[in-house]
Amino acid sequence: MKNLYLLTLLLSTLPVFAQNGIDYTGYGSADQIVTDFMNAQAVPGLSIAVSRDGKIKYSKSFGEIDTDNHIATQPYNLFRIASVSKPITAIAIMKMIEEGRFNLTDKVFGASGILKDHPQVSTYAYTDTRIDDITVQNLLEHTAGWDRGQDCFPNPTTPYPYYFSGCDPINAPLHVTEKYGATNPITEELYIRFLLENGLDHAPGTQYAYSNIGYLVLGEIIEQYSGMTYEAYLQTQIMQPLGIYDMEMGKNLPQNFNERESLYYGFGGYTNLSVYGTGQQVPWEYGGMNIEAMDAHGGWIATARDLVKLLNAVDGFSTSPDILSTSSIQTMITPSTATPGYAKGWSVSPYHSNWWHSGGVPGTASYLVRTSGGFNFAIILNTRNDGSANFWTKLDALGFNVINAIFNWPNIDLGAFPKVNATAYAIQPESSTSVTVNWDNGDGGERLVVVRESTDEKAYPLDGTDYAASTIFKSGDAIGTDNYVVYNGSGSTVTIQGLDASKNYKIRVIEYNKNTVTDGHALYLLGGNVEEEFNTSGLSATPQEKEIFSMYPVPAHTDLNIQLLESDAKYEITSINGQLVKQGKLVQGKNTISIAGLPTGVFLIKVSTTAYQSIKKVIVQ
């Protein structure tokens, strides 16, 4: 489905399809405003979510995420969000400051800087001594002293046959790897090295100059103080407790995309040399830029509704709990002395008390906005109309126009999804045509079990839609094409019948809430759950479930002891949304795993041999 060489849109007759999402009387005018914007700006797909007083009231998606195969956009689709990643990084930095790990005024580089022990950054030999004066606050406020508007590349910018103006190495990764004789694709650390050794354009703290690399440095600080990857820290310490599972690092190529991620559409058919160093000219959207080395400044993908859930947790309104203190939020949105329009990870309007950030790279555009009137909204597109003079002006106004078009807001929270998905599937064959499946429940009020033949396309339940189940395969309701509901209830086991011994199947357990808070609509938690493959003889894609280890202590603090009952095995520790945080090998008998670097919380450990596997919960205190 995901074609690497999807190129330019025809701007003239782009069809825009009907909206998707839970609908209410009075939403029609808002829907039309979005549709008119998409038609005027040649946008193939768009997702928008609006909250009022801490509750998501409007969550809609329009158009298509795949125009070749006419796959409609749904609120559960993820998009690249580009520089809307920066406020996410700022939230994490403010949380760490609040926890006392470092201060805004702490120096970052040099012998006494935060990164003095960083295995790579600490080794870079820069000559501009002003770099030692850069603080955490300078990085957050884009006043560290780098100015991407100042030219620093040769002409041509080898190995590119053309010239890159300015001095943002994000645009010319192959030039940086060539300079240092490094392998492709480029890493975040090499980008940082390039600007460190290039020196500063301004003294730290004196001038505002937007800097992607400054935010990459902030990502390194997060990793240094958490002992985790940037992504794992954000997911386990900030997003997971909020029930946010549809935010992760993006990938360059469609074959590696999240299963619900949109395709991206560029204007003009522009290409760039592949970041993999193949010498091929490829679309900017698919390998012409290295999304995978943009993490803290522009690497996230997300749903619009999960972005709003995150914003609701730092908006300073009393209508929903915040994860930062009032003073931390106020510090975060206080403008820099260098410019009144930018604070720490947020554009700000002191006159209207609005905070926001926009994001854009070839193939996507995004907005995340906190308004003074109690509304928050996120808008994400799968294109950036570089051919339109008023594109950004119209996109900036779109969310406000939607809000102004709705007069009666329903009593609902479209963000009230479960926070924990079902885990630890155990599949036991019963006969040549049936299996029994057991699982550990998440925290949803109820759950669906969906089964498909392995060769069939996966599909997902739609919010607001109820599904009838049957334990006889293909007798329950179908989701999409050939994904059948075999269980719908509050239990943790089902025996599935009517299977074919010659075929493989895939199964997924999906938690959902349907209550007064959701106004009687089913809201399905799709992020953070996995499919397991099986046949009537047992698991086919993974080893058979079997109790092959014990562990202690429970809860664990600094060490986890594993008593392995089988021959040599491997282990993986993941967060409950599937983020790998630690892995290694085990030998038969006693093994001790250090977990000193893991934060408090609930994790999963999977121990597997070639024949068997066992999964258990690990509580770290």
Phi-psi region of 360 (alpha: psi -120 to 50; beta: other; left: phi over 0): beta
Q: What is the pLDDT of residue 132?
A: 98
Instruction: Say what the pTM is.
Output: 0.87
pLDDT score recorded for residue 621: 75
Among 122-136, 355-369, 375-389, 424-438, the minimum mean pLDDT is found in 424-438
How sure is the predictor about 540, in pLDDT bands with cuts at 50, 70 and 90? very low
What is the structure's pLDDT at 4? 34
Kindly indicate the confidence band of residue 227, based on its pLDDT and cuts at 50, 70 and 90: confident
Reply yes or no on whether the pLDDT at 1 is more than 60.
no
Q: For the chain, which residues make up each domain, given as ranges?
A: 86-232, 423-542, 545-620
pLDDT, one tens digit per residue, over 64-82 is 999 999 999 999 999 999 9
Which residues 6+ apart lie within 8 Å of 315 measured at CB? 54, 322, 329, 370, 376
Tokens 């940037």 appear where? 230
CATH architecture designation of domain 423-542: Sandwich (2.60)
Res. 609: pLDDT tops 50: yes
Tell me the pLDDT of the chain averaged across its residues.
92
Instruction: Work out the pLDDT band at 577, boundaries 50, 70, 90.
Output: low
pLDDT in tens, 543-553: 566 778 888 78
Using H for helix, E for strand and C for coil, what is the string for 471-506? CECCCCCEECCCEEEEEEECCCEEEEECCCCCCCEE
Q: Is 50 exceeded by the pLDDT of residue 408? A: yes
What's the pLDDT score for residue 544? 62
- The residue type of 49 is A
Mean pLDDT of 12-37: 83
| Fold exhibited by the domain 86-232 | Beta-lactamase (3.40.710)
Are the beta carbons of 602 and 617 closer than 8 angstroms? yes
Tell me the average pLDDT across 491-520.
Answer: 97
Residue 18 has a pLDDT of: 65
Over residues 550-565, mean pLDDT: 83
pLDDT at 576 over 60: yes
CATH topology of domain 545-620: Immunoglobulin-like (2.60.40)
Residue 2: its pLDDT value, please?
36
Condensed to tens digits (0 to 9), the pLDDT of residues 148-163 reads: 999 999 999 999 999 9
Question: Which backbone phi and psi does 601 adopt, to 5 degrees?
Answer: 145, -170
Confidence class for position 611, pLDDT limits 50, 70, 90: low
The pLDDT of residue 539: 58
Query: Any idea which residue has 């209830």 for tokens?
Result: 489
Determine the Cα–Cα distance for residues 377 and 416; give it in Å rounded to an integer. 16
**Residue 25 reports pLDDT greater than 70:** yes
Q: Residue 91's closest CA among 140, 135, 50?
A: 140
Which has the closest alpha carbon to 267: 41, 74, 68?
Answer: 41
Q: Do domains 86-232 and 423-542 have the same CATH topology?
A: no
363-384 tens-digit pLDDT: 999 999 999 999 999 999 999 9
**Distance in angstroms (rounded) separating the CA atoms of residues 374 and 535:** 51
| Contact partners, residue 156, CB within 8 Å, separation at least 6 | 162, 163
